[in-house]
Amino acid sequence: MLDGTTAEIKPREALRINPAKTCQPIGAMYAALGIHGCMPHSHGSQGCCAYHRSHLTRHFKEPVVATSSSFTEGASVFGGLANMTQALSNIFTIYDPKIVAVHTTCLSEVIGDDIPMMIKKATEEGIIPAGKVVIHANTPSFVGSHVTGFASMVTAMVKYLSESSGKTEAQLKDEPQLNIIPGYIDPADMRELKRIIKEMGVKTVLFPDTSGVLDLPQDGRYRMFPSGGATIEQIKSAGDSVGTIALGHFASHPAAEKLDEKCNVPCALLELPYGLTNTDRFIHALRNHGGVDVPGTLGEERGRLLDAMGDMHQYFHGKRVAIAGDPDHVIALTQFLVELDMKPAYVITGSSGNHFEQRVTEILKDQAPEAIVKQNSDLFALHQWIKNQPVDLLIGNTYCKYIAHVEKIPFVRFGFPVLDRMGHRYFPGVGYMGALRLMEKINDALLDHKDRECPEETFELIQ
């Protein structure tokens, strides 16, 4: 397995091998699914849409619908206006969504299609029925990654939909509302954030929200537009909120800043609430900005997490860990591993952004200053470093399983995509309870590995 990967590291600048990222449009499609009644639309060749739908479906095992402008060579030469117009006509007639969220692809970007002009034209021609909305985000695949694509679509929601209604501060304070921009996390995580928010008793708008869209119960009925998702009205009202809590520098902060700029809504820019400290910060921010007290129930959850951290500390302490994934996820997870007294050794993301290296280095400066931290990296590079100096644990998406298998390293699946296990579809990783689950997975991976590999004399009943 991976027999071509050697410990010897040769110079490599042009060739990407085993990427730790994918392209912008899939992120835009995922974000769009977090709007209630939304049809994501891919403006380009239909292969993009097919690939994105397929991959999202493999991760969620749920219906993922989206449409495409289905470019052929003609559209690529003459522009995609006719395709877009026909697509919008078909989408509103056949599928009747409340909103269509268009994202571009490398194809339509290279030929320079002007989406706002197309939307304007379709509106004037009555192709977009009254009361229906079309928004767009530019997501060329040769810029950024799936994470920036997600961020661009969330920012587009703000640009197109959020408004300040002109209510006075006093009116707004009557029933203050907070915005939560959750980032590129799973529906189960969004559901958990909403549970925490409910416990706190804060009125919030969470967008995008894919819970209730991509984690549907089996009841024998298919609904193209299920009950979940942030409604257009909710996203609109985000402009009237007293504040925004945005989780993740890469996926969420751009939209929060846009909302501040557009509607003067102040924002707290936090990291994803993975682990103890980041959840503390999230809850603290909810408390401060929502003007509520933290209920004892959440304090108890925190206490149970901390209790487990103490109980099992010896199994985590000093373990060398390799982490690969999306920047917001990896930053927050690195923080949690530090809390567990683990030693991150290689910390990479496929996405680009200096903030990643700066932030991770800062988190590791006392505990693991020797760690290799790289943006714009890939799984091939990670594997070569592991071959040179091994680790005790690997954390990453499903693609990492080949490295784990061949190097016989305990492996915890985390992030996007997870294509071969089920837990992420139902159980959150965020919050104190999510942290417990992550911890359990790490602990199980380490101890299962020990039980499988250790000599008989150290095979122990009790750990």
Partner 1 sequence: MSEPTHTLTAPDLAAPDPAAVKAEMLKIYPAKTAKKRAKQIILNDPETPPEIGANSRTIPGIITQRGCTYAGCRGVVLGPIYDILQITHGPVGCGFYAWLSRRNLVRPPAGSTNYLQYCMNTDMQEDQIVFGGEKKLTQAIREAYAIFKPKAIAILATCPVGLIGDDIHTVAKLMKAELGINVMAFSCEGYKGVSQSAGHHIANNGVFKNIIGLDDKPDEAEFNMNILGEYNIGGDAWEIDTLLRKCGIHVTSTLSGDVSYDQVKKSHTVMLNGVMCHRSINYIAEMMEKKFGIPWIKVNFIGAEATAKTLRKIAKFFDSKKLTDRVEEVIAQEMIALRPVRAEIKARHQGKKAALFVGGSRAHHYQDLFRDIGMEIVSAGYEFAHRDDYEGRKVLPTIKVDADSRNIEELHVEADPARFKPTKTPEQMEALKAGGFSFKDYEGMMVEMKKSTLVIDDITHHEMEKLIEIYKPDIIGSGIKDKFVIEKMGVPCKQLHSYDYSGPYAAFAGAVNFYREVDRMLTTKVWKYITPPWEKAPLASVELVHASKLGGAKKNGEAKAWRKAAAGGEEA
> Which structure tokens are listed for 278?
């980041």
Residue 422 touching partner 1 (CB under 8 A): no
Query: Nearer Cβ to partner 1, position 17 or 454?
Result: 17
Q: Which residue carries 């890469």 as its tokens?
A: 250
Could you say which residues in the range 22-41 bind partner 1, by CB under 8 A?
Answer: 22-26, 41
Q: Which of 31, 35, 38, 88 binds partner 1 (CB under 8 A)?
A: 88
Catalytic residue among 65, 110, 294, 406: 110
Closest distance of CB 416 from partner 1, Å: 12
106 is catalytic: yes
Residue 284 touching partner 1 (CB under 8 A): no
Query: Nearer Cβ to partner 1, position 74 or 116?
Result: 74
Could you say which residues in the range 391-410 bind partner 1, by CB under 8 A?
Answer: 399, 402
- Report how far residue 311's alpha carbon sits from residue 42's, in angstroms, rounded to the nearest whole number: 49
Q: One symbol per residue from 207 to 246: x for binding partner 1 (CB under 8 A), - otherwise; what is it?
A: ---------x-xxxxxxx----------------------
Residue 310 touching partner 1 (CB under 8 A): no
Could you say which residues in the range 68-87 bind partner 1, by CB under 8 A?
Answer: 68-76, 83-84, 86-87
> Which structure tokens are listed for 296?
């004892």
What is the 3-class SS of 284-323, one letter each residue? Answer: HHHHHHHCCCCCHHHHHHHHHHHHHHHHCHHHHCCCEEEE
> Which structure tokens are listed for 242?
């007293």
110 is catalytic: yes
Query: Nearer Cβ to partner 1, position 22 or 231?
Result: 22
At 190, give phi and psi (nearest 5°). -65, -40
Closest distance of CB 450 from partner 1, Å: 28
Q: One symbol per residue from 145 to 174: x for binding partner 1 (CB under 8 A), - otherwise; what is it?
A: x-----------------------------
Query: Nearer Cβ to partner 1, position 55 or 359?
Result: 55
Closest distance of CB 146 from partner 1, Å: 8
105: Cβ contacts below 8 Å, ≥ 6 apart: 25, 42, 43, 44, 45, 48, 139, 140, 141
Check residue 143 and report its DSSP letter: S
Could you say which residues in the range 362-391 bind partner 1, by CB under 8 A?
Answer: 380
Catalytic residue among 23, 49, 106, 158: 106
Q: With H, G, I as helix, E, B as strand and everything else as coil, classify residue 201.
A: coil
Amino acid in the structure at residue 66: A
CA 33 to each of CA 100, 103, 154, 408, 424: distance values in angstroms, whole numbers, following the listed order: 10, 12, 11, 37, 18
Residue 17 touching partner 1 (CB under 8 A): yes
Could you say which residues in the range 333-362 bind partner 1, by CB under 8 A?
Answer: 350
Report the DSSP pairing between strands 393-396 and 99-104: unpaired
Could you say which residues in the range 105-134 bind partner 1, by CB under 8 A?
Answer: 105-107, 110-111
At 82, give phi and psi (nearest 5°). -60, -40
Check residue 20 and report its DSSP letter: S
Which positions are annotated as active-site residues? 106, 110
